[in-house]
Structure 1
């Protein structure tokens, strides 16, 4: 939306970010690797989680196949459709001098990052909702006992993964290395955030460490929303951990994000 003052069109932050998001969505649609990571990988990974679930004593932890697979599916979508895609997007746009040119216009720095991230974030949101609906039907899950926790976890996860992507892009030199730098967080999150193995099945000391990983609070809130077993204290702890990681990522972006190619 824009307004006109004395014959001069004035754009709003929302209109500027929307225009940038449309352009970014077009570019995203032309990148096959990003499309595969965003659309297909999160749909395939939950199948492996379901296979692994057959070897676990989920009942002893108060869980079932559905309450393991559904939060894992949400986590995979956040990691691949949002985090991994955005790392590559930020780095490639920087190397192509797109970010530098955008800074010479009306767009503010936060608008550039938010507008660039919007297509991936919306893709992740829609995908998470579809995966949740699909898992509920295919795995015979009942309605969530505390849906507000699941919604809160999903929203926190979207913001957190976008912020972490920008922070990771700050440390990534080239578009080629953008395929490698997201791997540590991807692997640690998949193995330690309760996606493949619930924290309830881990040794207490290891579980306490894994609770502090960036994606753990998201998985915890989504799962707790379905099971209804998450206490108020545990929910607040998960929210605090997610917010802390988001603040840390935003600080890293403000401090180290590079708008021009590394020399």
Structure 2
């Protein structure tokens, strides 16, 4: 088939179709890559002795340690401690982030006066603030919840603010002309436009919040899987330490997957990756 244009004649092959990789193919390739990586790891440590197993245990040793870990009651209580703190901190971060983000998006005066300080605090390395939280809030759950909140609130807040700014003023003015109340404008116009941005911020907040929880347990405290990892590394139990790291990877990916499902359910119209 040929199409005439200002620059000449373009020939198009009607039989050519864009090649798309299905999710199944992608999963198969990912599985093969992981299996190849584990095989190389096993060979380097256990078969060819290229790396001392004291420093890097073989995957078989890590799997044995993982099996012992999941039948240990102390592990489940530590995991519950970490997830509980993370849930509380995330709930606070989402509530504050959405409320303040909408307020900043709707108020130019607040954006001029408050937003620069928020950006300054957002750019500050959170690790530098962690000891202050621990000194101020103690070694218990409060300091961990505070760190989860600190790391998680900014993605939600800033993405919600950006989402609010995308709302067309003409839609808001038209709704008010037809007698819509402020609640109706917020619920039927601002909320649907902002929701995809907020969900992207929440998805990033989950990952950062889990990092904040582990960071707090590393720096101070006697509970949580972060403390278990620190203790295992201190005792040089590298197989147990890597098993705990594997648990952290599972928890993080399950959390992100859950938020991704929520995004598809609550905002099915949004197919683009928004946010920062």
Structure with the larger RCO, 1 or 2 (CA within 8 Å, 6+ apart): 1
Superposition TM-score, scaled by structure 2 size: 0.27
